[in-house]
Chains A and B, each alone.
Chain A
């Protein structure tokens, strides 16, 4: 029993690592993607749109397999499974976050840009000081949704053999002929998401000083 819990703790650490690293890279990466999608250049917005269609139009589980195995079949290169998981998750989640950012950016009225321009702010200043802070507030609820989904999606990493929490739980449950480990894993995901939503609620409260 103790050994099983230890193994599951190990697995949950892997899940948390996937979760944190995915957010760490995909949240910033989504910004240039969103801007690319809104680019006036047809070539850039078209290319980004194709990327978004593929990422949002195919299952993440398939993307995981592709990211890990394609380099092997194409160039006979094999690499670390964990790295492959992070790459697949990051490019997938960046697509979803980018669309959330785009919605947020487009919801800011033209008047804010005009006021900033008349006051002499540069385009960069306008975006980072005037527009983006307001976007962050507006996209918080939908971003929370996506982040909560990510916690649960980490279970897909086992597809290419990364022993995250759910895989460990399944193994343990097979060995012990018991569903207990899977139930414990469920509690872990639940607690993790409880924490995530509590953090987002707090963040939303912090930004509620203006409308």
Chain B
């Protein structure tokens, strides 16, 4: 079942065309990894799908509902409902510093989904347990390591039960030793068949966890296919060049 469909998406900043005619889809339970050099438009693509950027043209639909159709956006109310099905984990976590770990995870459940505080707490506690942070419930983000903060932010996104979860270079702000704990969490989620789209520079991780990989360069999708095939035997010369730098 198709969860996300993007077709002919384009995005320009002034005269600069950052995304050109991007089309792809994500199916339920699938892990898609987007790789490519800096400035290739990976993050912008992710931001467009999460409605942090306004597209210049094209269609994005989530579970059949159009967020934007041929460049025309849905009404604000529809948009809000559609965007809630899409979660995002940021590179810099962006936790709310004035809220405890628990409240970071419950606040949106209470204010946005209208859950009761008992429900919200139960959900938060079970997610924190899964993230191995049960002892940090009442801590504040500034008291946590980067890896712990990122796990809280993953729990915060999962608490709203998104249909698909996006990761924007989730380990780029972390020390190499902390990277592993985040990758493990994502691996566990993949094992539970969580639908995910991961923008990453961790090639071996992309190969091991992702079902499919998209390689982007200069705003276009250069190559797309089964993760292990694209990363081990890229067909496109540009992909080969990019991946060679990683294997060295």
Contacts and interface: CB of A to CB of B under 8 A. Distances in A.
Interface of A: 109, 111-112, 114-115, 117-121, 125, 129-130, 133-134, 137, 209-211
11 contacts: A112-B94, A114-B90, A117-B51, A118-B83, A118-B88, A119-B156, A129-B111, A130-B96, A134-B98, A210-B142, A211-B142
B140 A115 contact: no
Contacts of A112: 94, 96
A210 B112 contact: no
Interface of B: 50-52, 80, 83-84, 87-88, 90, 92, 94-98, 107-108, 111-113, 140-142, 153, 156-157, 160
Contacts of B96: 112, 115, 130
B134 to A, nearest CB: 21
Contacts, number: 55
B94 A114 contact: yes
Given A133-B98, A211-B142, A117 B52 contact: yes
For the complex of A and B, list the 3 residue pairs with the smallest distance between their C-beta atoms, beginning with the closest: A115-B94, A120-B112, A111-B94
B90 A120 contact: no
Contacts of A118: 50, 52, 83, 87-88, 157
A129 B108 CA distance: 11
Contacts of A119: 107-108, 112, 156-157, 160
Contacts of B157: 118-119
Contacts of A117: 51-52
Contacts of B156: 119
Nearest to B50: A118
Contacts of B108: 119-121
